Amino acid sequence: MRRGSWKIRIFIGLAIVGFAFIQRCNNKEENPYTGRVQTIDMTAEQEIAIGLQSAPEMAQQHGGLYPDERLQSFVDAVGTKLISNSIARETPYKYDFHLLADDRTINAFALPGGQIFITYALFSKLNEAQLAGVLGHEIGHVIGRHSAERIAESSFWRTVSMGASVGADAGGIVGSIGQNTLLKNGRGDELESDELGVLFMIRSGYEPREMIKVMEILRDAAGSNRTPEFQSTHPDPENRIQKIKEAIQKYEGR
């Protein structure tokens, strides 16, 4: 009886893992804007809906919007310029730029579908070209569908971990592998967005080397508390600077 039960567990576990891999293969598609094949299990319309639904809560977590329409209009103008001069204008996404009131947290981020945020703490340290670099990077996350990809990949690894746990009590090991894979992919997302940001800056007439200064600002802000690269979803600023230099060399003159 125990032997039969063990066999059933193995069979169910393998079936769950097999289902996860089949589903993952069926969800593969090429991103028309980056050319990269990704695992995606939602439409652009669903991404937009998620972003719009989440935007108010994200703004609230950072003290709401910065109460200066003039500065907000400036952010909008830079963001609109980047979109107008890049492949972003061809995408179905609805881009909105939000200047957050948070004057302590140096950060910028994008939600699926085009909702883009920058804190006043970071904004206040940037000139216009550097702001363009930050916003271009975040537009790159949207076009790259990085959030949608991470959601799909996380779902895949959860299902595989469940199958491994049922079949061989190995869910923890598989889950750890999945987390490391997601971290590695997350660093790849940042580098892809950096490269797209450089391209958008050049196409919009901004000096792309200002993106290097943005990395220096982020590095200095992190100080000695910076997390080692192997533990972080973001590559080390020094590595990002090197990749940015390569992207500048790649795109300048085109």
Q: What is the pTM of this model?
A: 0.77
pLDDT digit string (tens) for 122-165?
999 999 999 999 999 999 999 998 888 877 776 654 655 555 55
Region 103-118: mean pLDDT is: 92
Query: Is the per-residue pLDDT at 221 higher than 70?
Result: yes
Residues 6+ apart with CB under 8 A from 106: 119, 121, 122, 125, 217, 218, 221
Structure letter (DSSP) for residue 160:
H
Beta bridge partners of 108: 118
pLDDT digit string (tens) for 57-70?
999 999 999 999 99
pLDDT digit string (tens) for 153-210?
766 546 555 555 554 444 444 344 334 433 444 678 889 999 999 999 999 999 999 9
Rounded distance, CA 4 to CA 10, Å?
10
